Amino acid sequence: MHDHAPSTGIRGAGNRRLLAISLTITSTVMVVQVIGAILSGSLALLADAAHMFTDASALVIALIASAVAARPADDRRTFGYQRAEVLGALINAVILGVLAITVGVEGVQRLINPGEAEVQGGLMLIIAVAGAVANAVSMWLLSAAQKKSINVRGAYLEVMGDLIGSVGVIIAAIVILATGWVRADAIASLFIAAMILPRVFTLLREVISVLAESAPKGTDIPDIRTHILGYPGVRAVHDVHVWQLTRGAPVFTAHVVVDPDVLSDGGSARMLADLQGCLSQHFDVEHSTFQLEPDGHAEHDDVVHR
């Protein structure tokens, strides 16, 4: 006996709304940056615009993945489609990696050979400041949801990178305005590429952790075991497994050895409710499955399956 999988419909709808707002902001700033890069001759601004374009594509992927993840479970996918969020995050990470390499190569080429083109620092500065403000708004919108959704977290990290990139472009524009040193534009481009790579590794590490069905970060399995053993009538706990379908959706299973009178007196339903309530309230685990066993049953299993 166990409780049902957590309903993500409301949360998913809210996430999609936030992603759609962030997509609108990102796309608008991207167009402005492309126009500004052409008019000002700034490679850094163009690199930031390319970053915005990649983020807009990633947000589209995130929206699609979030919609797919909201589909109900069926006979073939009994846990539903929440893993679609993880696959969407994986695609985002690959896109970010390609972007970092492209921007890095272009930045090195411009640093070595800046060319004769002049960079208009004033226009570059205005557009970079507008981009920074827009990215700050997007981060604020996604800040709460990214703590519970790996998909939204991917979008959040990308917007964070955009904000840092915009700050780098602002600094480069100020340097160009103050000194006329146009190589600051190329350095800002390399800075953007360098800031992307750590985000790629962070997101990939989390995706791999979910797909490898590792215990969620911060989950203290010995503490959970101690809580379960503290219930009257519980003698032992074994075959404990904890993993997550996606960020914020942990799953728990365990075999619990109980006193025979718990099963004979009809107390199994009450114990199941208590154990599931414990995991939900104390460890934020909404989906838990317990198999109650009489004392000696585990030894019998060992003989049968040896």
DSSP 43-93: HHHHHHHHHHHHHHHHHHHHHHHHHHHTSPP-SSSTT-STHHHHHHHHHHH
Higher pLDDT, 11 or 230: 230
pLDDT for residue 124: 92
Higher pLDDT, 53 or 177: 177
Report the pLDDT averaged over residues 287-298. 78
- Token pair belonging to 69: 């993840």
User: Domains in the chain, please, with CATH?
Assistant: 9-211 (1.20.1510.10), 221-305 (3.30.70.1350)
> pLDDT confidence of 83, banded at 50, 70, 90?
confident
Answer whether 59's CB lies under 8 Å from 91's CB: no
- Strands 250-258, 234-244: pairing kind: antiparallel
Residue 222 has pLDDT above 80, yes or no: yes
For residue 198, give the H/E element and its range: helix 183-211
Quote the mean pLDDT of the chain.
Answer: 79
The 10s digit of each residue's pLDDT in 95-145 is 878 888 887 887 888 788 876 557 888 999 999 999 999 889 888 888 877
Which amino acid would we find at residue 8?
Answer: T
User: Taking the chain, what is the end-to-end CA distance rounded to the nearest angstrom?
Assistant: 26
Burial class (CB in 10 A: 0-12, 13-18, 19+), 113: exposed
Residue 59 has pLDDT above 90, yes or no: no
Which one-letter DSSP state was computed for residue 116?
S
HSE (side-chain half, CA atoms, 13 Å) at 48: 41
Report the pLDDT averaged over residues 10-33. 77
Answer whether 36's CB lies under 8 Å from 45's CB: yes
CB crowding 228-261: b at 16 or more within 10 Å, else e: beeeebbeebeebebbbbbbbbbbbebbbbbeee
CA 292, CA 267: separation in Å to the nearest integer? 11
Q: CA 59, 145, 83 angle in degrees (round to 5)?
A: 65
Higher pLDDT, 7 or 268: 268
The 10s digit of each residue's pLDDT in 167-176 is 989 999 999 9
> Cβ contacts of residue 228 below 8 Å, gap of 6+?
234, 237, 254, 256, 275, 278
- pTM recorded for the entire structure: 0.68
